[in-house]
Amino acid sequence: METLQAIKTRRSIRRFLDKPVSREMARDLLEAAMFAPSAGNEQPWQFVLLDERKLLDEVPRLCATASMCRQAPMAILVCGDSSQEKYPNFWVQDCSAATENILLAAHDRGLGAVWVGIYPLKDRIEAFRKFLGLPEEITPVCLVAIGYPNESPAAPRRYREERVHFNGW
């Protein structure tokens, strides 16, 4: 898949087929995540792979916008690791870049995925910390639910000329 095609055709998928995603496929997605750019190449991320049904079924209790986890065969919790920081507070951007790589790699592999926000909502952060036993230096940024898509949302028009400013406002 060409890069621009992948970017323009990737959609947030919230309905999944009852079909497992292999650990090998998950490794490909995580490797793509780890190729994301990061400030000073510090790579301040950690990932928690969830593929046990009982854990995925509990996720919507922690985060109401993650109800699709009841169908998803897998999810990746993307976390910032403050112990890896060289440049304080850039971990949010770095983890966001890693998340986008996961979404694009999933699309390239024929998977569907959706980004569920956690950070900066303190209740969600603490709920995931407690649920998964995350150390204090680990902050969950988002959860990416992943599976084989059971929907095909149409691509909307996204380019807005009125939002582009040349050489100043």
**Phi-psi category of 168—alpha, beta or left, where left has phi over 0 and alpha has psi -120 to 50?**
left
pLDDT recorded at residue 155: 85
Q: Identify residue 167 by its one-letter amino acid code.
A: N
Classify residue 40 as exposed, middle or buried by CB count within 10 Å of its CB (0-12, 13-18, 19+): exposed
Answer for the pair 117, 64: CB distance below 8 angstroms, yes or no.
Answer: no
Q: What is the chain's Cα-based Rg?
A: 16
Peptide bond into 88 cis (omega under 30): no
Name residue 50's beta-bridge partners. 75
Domain parsing of the chain, residue ranges: 29-150
In order of 45, 83, 87, the CA distances from 27 in angstroms are 15, 24, 27
What CATH superfamily classification does 29-150 receive?
Answer: NADH Oxidase (3.40.109.10)
* DSSP β-ladder status, 112-117 and 45-50: unpaired
pLDDT tens string, the chain, 169 residues long: the values are 799 999 999 999 999 999 999 999 999 999 999 999 999 999 999 999 999 999 999 999 999 999 999 999 999 999 999 999 889 999 999 999 999 999 999 999 999 999 999 999 999 999 999 999 999 999 999 999 999 999 999 988 999 999 999 999 9
Instruction: Please tell me the pTM assigned to this model.
Output: 0.96
The residues, any chain, with a CB within 8 Å of residue 138's CB and separated by 6 or more, are 46, 79, 80, 81, 82, 129
Residue 145 phi/psi, 5-degree rounding, is -80, 135
Which tokens go with 92? 């949010």
What is d(CA 167, CA 77) in angstroms, rounded to the nearest whole number?
Answer: 38
